[in-house]
Amino acid sequence: MKLIIKGGTVVTAEKSFKADVLIEDGKIASVGKIADSGCPVIDAKGLHVLPGLIDMHVHLREPGFEGKEDIESGSRAAVAGGFTQVCCMPNTNPVCDNAVVVSYIKNRAKQVNLCKVNPIGAITKGEEGQTLADIGKMKQAGAVALSDDGKSVMNSQIMRLGMEYASGFGLKCLCHCEDAALVDGGVVNEGYNSTLTGLKGSLRAAEDIMVARDIALAESLNLPVHICHVSTYSAVEIIRSAKARGVRVTAETCPHYFTLTDDVITSFDTNTKVNPPLREEKDRKAVTEGLKDGTIDCIVTDHAPHSQKDKQVEYNLAAFGISGIEISFALSYTQLVERGEISLNALVKLMSANPACILGLEGGAIAEGLPADITIVDLSAEYTVDADKWYSKGKNTPFNGKRVKGKVKYTLVGGEIKYQG
């Protein structure tokens, strides 16, 4: 099977150039001027051709919470968002803390046959923070990383052992950083707006303490660590200085942390409730700076779909999380590239090349021999976010009604068109 992507602008993490892309047997066969040979052609004139986007932090909810999302709806949403690969967190039911659940997720994803789905295994059994999970067997079954996402591994000795075992099997720990005792039931950022609304606040320190602890472990043990969803200015600073010392730390943030502040919680809209919470303007700015100077390595969604009944309750009772895989590219492009904060190449680095590199996944580039995982976007197309039209079952977004620019036109996985917008 051959396919040509004709007349587009190829954008990699390093450069942008006009070129056609020839796909043969699921792989990129060549990049350059390619003559028509009667095979199918995608007309990419006026469009940008990117390496397939990779979201290394999503929640697909299967097994156990299929009312919120399942592997099929989540994969459909992912390809509609331009993602050719996602990595799914283990806070399912049962928790993905063993090889059987890892294999189940991989098999379901294969049947669904849309994007690549890479399971993340739990660090501890049941994400309970007490005993290490079956790390080696999960790796054998195809887990690409470890995390107790949703919570921190509060016992530092267990975390140390988790990092050591993970590294023994060539895996990284992805750390959800929140000191559980300090959060103490907080539902929003502790500050002016928590006082104004009367909602219980959670200090920046709850996040910063765990970021600092996990970096201290990585530094002492000379092991890699990855910090999930950075939201505070102070965490950005801790990571920046650790990197300057040569600590093997990488970090991610999400569109909501560089687009919104906790001013939006004054609406009491439960779609603004997320963990870690939305912070203040100085945090939003620092997270943006972190993306600009390489302190933060990638943009993930933390796509956290929830059902209406989990969200249409009073703020204190609502589930934490924002659904966002279908608008992540547009939000990031609109907020960062359109406003001149970063280049389109830098965005490709943050959303494709770096996640691939951090987890050792194939992809993140457009080069001969690589699988033809490609995202084609129309950067001039503007539209209004409407979650009712999403493939995801999770309509929980604070971005409904927002005007954004950057539309996904095609998502190709292994050379096959999995989404056409």
Which residues contact ligand DOR by CB under 6 A? 59, 91, 149-150, 176, 274-275, 304, 320-321
Compute the least distance from the CB of residue 175 to ligand DOR, in Å. Answer: 11
Taking the least distance from each CB to ligand DOR, the nearer of 72 and 149 is: 149
Q: Which of 368, 409, 349 is nearest to 12 (CA)?
A: 349
Taking the least distance from each CB to ligand DOR, the nearer of 167 and 275 is: 275
Selected binder of Zn ion within 70, 97, 148, 149 (CB under 5 A) = 149
- DSSP β-bridge partners for residue 185: none
Interaction of residue 176 with Zn ion, rule CB under 5 A = yes
Spatial distance between the Cα atoms of 63 and 88, rounded to a whole number of angstroms = 11
Spatial distance between the Cα atoms of 223 and 215, rounded to a whole number of angstroms = 9
Determine the 3-state secondary structure of 88 from DSSP. Answer: strand
Compute the least distance from the CB of residue 89 to ligand DOR, in Å. Answer: 7
Transcribe 281-323 into DSSP letters: HHHHHHHHHHHHHTSS-EE---B----HHHHSS-GGGSPP-B-
320 binds, among Zn ion, ligand DOR, none (CB under 5 to 8 A by kind): ligand DOR
The secondary structure of residue 350, as a DSSP letter, is I
Interaction of residue 179 with Zn ion, rule CB under 5 A = no
274 binds, among ligand DOR, Zn ion, none (CB under 5 to 8 A by kind): ligand DOR
> Residues 302, 310, 378, 388: which is the catalytic one?
302
Q: Is 316 left (phi over 0), alpha (psi -120 to 50) or beta?
A: alpha
Taking the least distance from each CB to ligand DOR, the nearer of 17 and 268 is: 268
Interaction of residue 302 with Zn ion, rule CB under 5 A = yes
Compute the least distance from the CB of residue 126 to ligand DOR, in Å. Answer: 15
Taking the least distance from each CB to Zn ion, the nearer of 20 and 149 is: 149
Interaction of residue 127 with Zn ion, rule CB under 5 A = no
Both tokens of residue 172? Answer: 């990284």
Taking the least distance from each CB to Zn ion, the nearer of 89 and 331 is: 89
Spatial distance between the Cα atoms of 227 and 214, rounded to a whole number of angstroms = 8
* Active site (annotated) includes residue 302: yes
Peptide bond into 94 cis (omega under 30): yes
Catalytic residue positions? Answer: 302
Interface ranges with Zn ion (CB under 5 A): 89, 149, 176, 302
